[in-house]
Amino acid sequence: MKPVAITGMGCVSALGIGVESTWEALRQGRTGIAPLVGFEESGLKVTTAAQVPGYVPEEHFAPSQLGLLDRHSQFALLAAREALTDAGLDPAQQASLAAVIGTGCGGKETDELTYQKLYKEEKHRVHPFTIPRGMPSAASSQISMDLGIRGPSFTISSACSSTNHAIAQAVLMIRAGLVDAAIAGGTDAPFTYGLLKSWEALRVLSPETCRPFSRDRKGLVLGEGAGMFLLESLDHANRRGAHIHCLIRGIGMSADAAHITDPSSEGAARAMQAALQDAGCQPEEIGYVNAHGTGTQLNDPSETQAIRSVFGSHADRLLVSSTKSMHGHALGAAGALELVATVRSLQERLVPPTANFTEPGEGCDLDYVPNEAVPLDYSFAMSNSFAFGGLNAVVVVQRAG
């Protein structure tokens, strides 16, 4: 199968704006999880979050733009601009790109402000651009307009697997020859009162920090942000002399067809096996797995079991870490932040840690790279995303050169 190159990356996360800010924190094991801000008088039980620090929209967008940009679209645009700048793509070539953007929530900020006006303030009118600002496809539309992209542009939503599904769709389009290149990734901004109350009701949020795979883990910590990638056929990248960050060698997808919130290790394993098969890669060639690793009681042992099922005895030699311990669970953007971490890990030959780790939980018996990054000279990595509804998407990447 022809490989697809990643030639540009952009990122906004709780660890900062820009790929290098995020990677520098990840390699240091420094967490972006902090006390929740902006809801001090709300009576929420949620106390911690991974919010983009010091973010001021007016520093990045004109007032005339902000009326049309939900927070999740703002993050998407910042990351997409960085990815295209990083790729060094000729502006004349941007028109032929595709844009495939994943989101789990879409324009929740816009929804919340609208309902607050209608039901709390008892207003009878809302912003005239409420629909285009908050629609699930808003981010892909805004990226298309901002960057002059005229190729296929659309949104994919599969909860916490949205980014990896978007990456997979873009890869398939490039392989099929429908486009030579695409901007693909994910974005989410879930910090609204209504959404936080809804997550509270699920009883999966940690009251403190996120400790994936640890015995004393207490749940996930919500995050926000975006990650975008310029993907190109390898031939296209080579023809224009592009710098290649890494190669996407395999994609794998599956559905549990089981339970809406209880993950299936068998379903996760099938997605991982499909990605390895698509990559033409043997399990023992994988050096690092960036785990879905939410820090919940159900996910962590289930994912561990799935990894053992796929990798057999090699699982004892794998390095596995959850970077959600640092950038939080950014829902539809989680896979994007994790793919940034995985690509930079390959480039730097350094595996980012699982921060806040204490001691292994029951059923969690792999090497989770506790608290400190580990040097590793390796060529293939895997990034896992598993979503509510049993929607699984996995990506295998290879170091370039």
| Cα 192 → chain centroid | 19
Q: Is the dihedral of CA 278, 226, 128, 63 positive or negative?
A: negative
Active-site residue, selected from the candidate residues 72, 236, 327, 329: 329
Active-site residue, selected from the candidate residues 11, 105, 160, 364: 160
- Helices 162-175 and 334-348: crossing angle in degrees, nearest 10, is 70
User: 119 by DSSP, 3-state: which?
Assistant: helix
364 is catalytic: no
329 is catalytic: yes
105 is catalytic: no
Active-site residue, selected from the candidate residues 72, 236, 245, 292: 292
In the DSSP assignment, the letter for residue 38 is: S
Which of 233, 244, 243, 227 is CA-nearest to residue 81? 227
Angle at 253 between CA 165 and CA 313, to 5 degrees: 125
Torsion of CA 146, 93, 242, 163, to 10 degrees: 50
Q: Is the dihedral of CA 272, 136, 188, 256 positive or negative?
A: negative
User: 338 by DSSP, 3-state: which?
Assistant: helix
Residues noted as catalytic: 160, 292, 329
